[in-house]
């Protein structure tokens, strides 16, 4: 994967991948929404409220997936000093934060009719809320320094520290007695979701994942362009300072 740390190679690869990812999202999301909101049956216990699942579950998956991508990129940035990895982490963070927020909001909308409350300090809910704060903390820390590289390094350390929260989110329903239901799709054997609901859910997950990756690639390309502009501006300022210093020295002579 080291060859993709070269910005030129990454730009060429992302230019080929982004239209395909956007195309997959453009095709699968309307189909998934139709299957989820119209074609799929209501649940025998939850009724029509079960349709929130088709947005909530993919959002929860992408909240964790985005943070895992940031963690891998942070390792590459801190260990191998790949500047592209730092830019990729900063590009993914807002996208992951949006999906984490969407997960929390849809979870509250789903919880109110099912549990009779919008929010409880449940282990799963609380750990996802911490994940949202980790995203926001990274964004704040990465932009808190005049030196962009220092901000990216500090943010990368925070991301790696926060990875301990990922297994807590995943296994919280197994480790503690919580209101949140256990895993239904990733169960060993047959998923505890009927095929009439499972297929729309998988289509929505595919479409939202493709959308996530397309946005992440576009944002990374934007971060690369921004970094180039910053380097050019600093070089221009440096030349102007050197020119002014040379003129001042000439006048003194």
- Rounded CA-CA distance 155/139 in Å is 8
Contact between 110 and 59 (Cβ < 8 Å): no
The reported pLDDT for the residue numbered 221 is 94
Domain locations along the chain? 2-178+193-225
Instruction: Compute the distance between CA of residue 165 and CA of residue 124 in angstroms, rounded to an integer.
Output: 10
C-alpha triplet 9, 217, 93: angle, nearest 5°: 125
Q: What is the pLDDT of residues 175-214, one digit of tens each?
A: 666 666 666 665 545 556 778 889 999 999 999 999 999 9
pLDDT at 236: 72
Give the model confidence (pLDDT) of 34-86 as tens digits.
Answer: 999 999 998 888 888 889 999 999 999 999 999 999 999 999 999 988 889 99
d(CA 30, CA 22): 13
């Amino acid at each position: 994967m080291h060859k993709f740390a070269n910005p030129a190679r990454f730009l060429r690869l992302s230019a080929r991948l982004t239209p395909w990812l956007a195309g997959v999202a453009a095709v699968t999301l309307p189909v998934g929404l139709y299957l989820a909101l119209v074609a799929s049956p209501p649940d025998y216990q939850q009724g029509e409220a079960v349709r929130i699942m088709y947005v909530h579950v993919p959002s929860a998956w992408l909240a964790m997936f985005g943070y895992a991508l940031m963690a891998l990129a942070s390792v590459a940035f801190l260990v191998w000093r790949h500047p592209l990895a730092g830019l990729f982490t900063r590009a993914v963070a807002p996208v992951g934060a949006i999906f984490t927020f969407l997960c929390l909001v849809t979870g509250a909308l789903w919880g109110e009719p099912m549990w009779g409350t919008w929010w409880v300090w449940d282990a799963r809910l609380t750990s996802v809320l911490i994940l949202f704060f980790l995203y926001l903390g990274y964004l704040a820390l990465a932009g808190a320094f005049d030196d962009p590289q220092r901000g990216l390094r500090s943010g990368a350390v925070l991301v790696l520290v926060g990875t301990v929260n990922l297994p807590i989110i995943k296994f919280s329903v197994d480790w503690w007695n919580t209101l949140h239901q256990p895993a239904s799709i990733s169960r060993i054997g047959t998923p505890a979701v009927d095929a009439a609901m499972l297929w729309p859910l998988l289509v929505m997950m595919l479409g939202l994942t493709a959308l996530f990756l397309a946005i992440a690639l576009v944002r990374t390309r934007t971060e690369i362009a921004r970094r180039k502009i910053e380097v050019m501006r600093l070089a221009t300022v440096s030349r102007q300072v050197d020119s002014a210093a040379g003129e001042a020295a000439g006048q003194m002579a």
